C-alpha cells in the first residue's frame, strides 16, 4: 500500500526560516521540497527565457508575475518526486496565487511562520547560501565550518542579491501588502497552523512537527 499523501504549504515572511525547515522536513518525510524562489533562481542562472524575465523583479525584491511563477510551479508539481507529497515554500504569495493553488491541488496542512520584523531583517542580512545545493547558512547562528564555503560541497557561499538592504526593505513591504493578508484567508480553514518561528532551527523544527501531528 502506498503512503498517504502529505501536501504542506509553508507561509510566512522572507527570512522566517521556511527554506531551512522545508529542506529538512521534506528529506525526512521523503516528499519534494518545492521552493518557487529556488526554481526561479535556477531559471535565472540558466538564463532561460523565463529566468531572464524574472531576473529584474527578483533583484528588486518584487514579486515575479503570477503567470511566470505558475508555469514553473506547475511543471514541478507534476514531477515524480512530488508523487507522495510536497512542501511548498514561497507559494502562494498573494490571494490570486492562493486561489490558483486551490485549483491545482488539495492541501493537507498550511503552516504559518510567525516572526517579528526586527528578527527578519537580522536573519536576512546574515544569510549566505550555497549556489549549488541551496543550503542556507546564517553567519551569526549557523556559520559554515570553513569560512565562506558550503559544508556539503565546498562551493563558495554567496549573498543573494535580494538580501541587500534596499531589496530587503522592498521584500518586507511586498510581504506586508500582498502576502500577510493570506493569514486571514487561511486562518479560517481547518488545516491552518501557526508556529512561533523564533529561536534556533531545532526549536522551530520541533514546533512544526508538533503542529503537523
Catalytically active residues are 18, 93, 127, 160, 171
Does 127 participate in binding ligand AMP (rule CB under 6 A)? no
Does 90 participate in binding ligand AMP (rule CB under 6 A)? yes
In the complex with ligand AMP, the residue whose CB is nearer, 58 or 120, is: 58
Q: Please, are residues 208 and 111 in contact by the beta-carbon 8 Å criterion?
A: yes
Does 61 participate in binding ligand AMP (rule CB under 6 A)? yes
Question: How far apart, in whole angstroms, are the C-alpha atoms of residue 65 and residue 69?
Answer: 7
Q: Please, are residues 103 and 3 in contact by the beta-carbon 8 Å criterion?
A: no
Does 17 participate in binding ligand AMP (rule CB under 6 A)? no
Residue from 11, 31, 34, 93 that binds ligand AMP (CB under 6 A)?
Answer: 93
Does 135 participate in binding ligand AMP (rule CB under 6 A)? no
Question: How far apart, in whole angstroms, are the C-alpha atoms of residue 55 and residue 41?
Answer: 8
Q: How many residues does the chain have?
A: 213
Does 57 participate in binding ligand AMP (rule CB under 6 A)? yes
In the complex with ligand AMP, the residue whose CB is nearer, 4 or 25, is: 25
> β-strands 32-35, 136-138: how paired?
unpaired
Does 100 participate in binding ligand AMP (rule CB under 6 A)? no
Does 51 participate in binding ligand AMP (rule CB under 6 A)? no
What region does 17 belong to: left with phi over 0, alpha with psi -120 to 50, or beta? left
In the complex with ligand AMP, the residue whose CB is nearer, 120 or 145, is: 120
Q: How is residue 41 written as a grid cell?
A: 533562481
User: Which residues have a Cβ under 8 Å from the Cβ of 132 and sit 6 or more positions away?
Assistant: 150, 153, 155
Q: Residues in the site for ligand AMP, rule: CB under 6 A? A: 14, 36-37, 40, 57-58, 61-64, 69, 90-91, 93, 97, 162, 171
Amino acid at each position: 500500500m502506498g503512503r498517504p499523501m502529505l501536501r504542506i504549504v509553508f507561509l510566512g515572511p522572507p527570512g522566517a526560516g521556511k527554506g531551512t525547515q522545508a529542506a529538512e522536513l521534506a528529506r525526512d518525510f521523503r516528499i519534494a521540497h518545492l521552493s518557487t524562489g529556488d526554481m526561479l533562481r535556477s531559471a535565472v542562472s540558466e538564463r532561460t527565457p523565463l529566468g531572464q524575465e524574472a531576473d529584474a523583479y527578483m533583484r528588486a525584491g518584487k514579486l515575479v508575475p503570477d503567470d511566470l511563477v505558475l508555469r514553473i510551479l506547475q511543471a514541478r508539481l507534476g514531477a515524480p518526486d512530488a508523487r507522495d507529497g510536497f512542501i511548498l515554500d514561497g507559494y502562494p504569495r498573494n490571494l490570486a496565487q492562493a486561489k490558483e493553488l486551490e485549483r491545482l491541488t488539495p492541501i493537507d496542512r498550511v503552516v504559518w511562520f510567525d516572526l517579528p520584523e526586527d528578527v527578519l531583517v537580522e536573519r536576512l542580512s546574515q544569510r549566505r547560501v550555497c549556489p549549488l545545493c541551496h543550503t542556507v547558512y546564517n553567519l551569526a547562528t549557523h556559520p559554515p565550518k570553513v569560512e565562506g564555503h558550503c559544508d556539503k560541497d565546498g562551493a563558495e557561499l554567496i549573498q543573494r542579491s535580494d538580501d541587500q538592504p534596499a531589496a530587503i526593505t522592498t521584500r518586507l513591504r511586498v510581504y506586508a501588502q500582498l502576502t500577510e493578508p493570506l493569514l486571514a484567508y487561511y486562518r479560517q480553514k481547518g488545516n491552518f497552523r501557526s508556529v512561533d518561528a523564533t529561536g534556533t532551527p531545532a526549536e522551530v523544527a520541533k514546533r512544526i512537527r508538533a503542529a503537523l501531528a
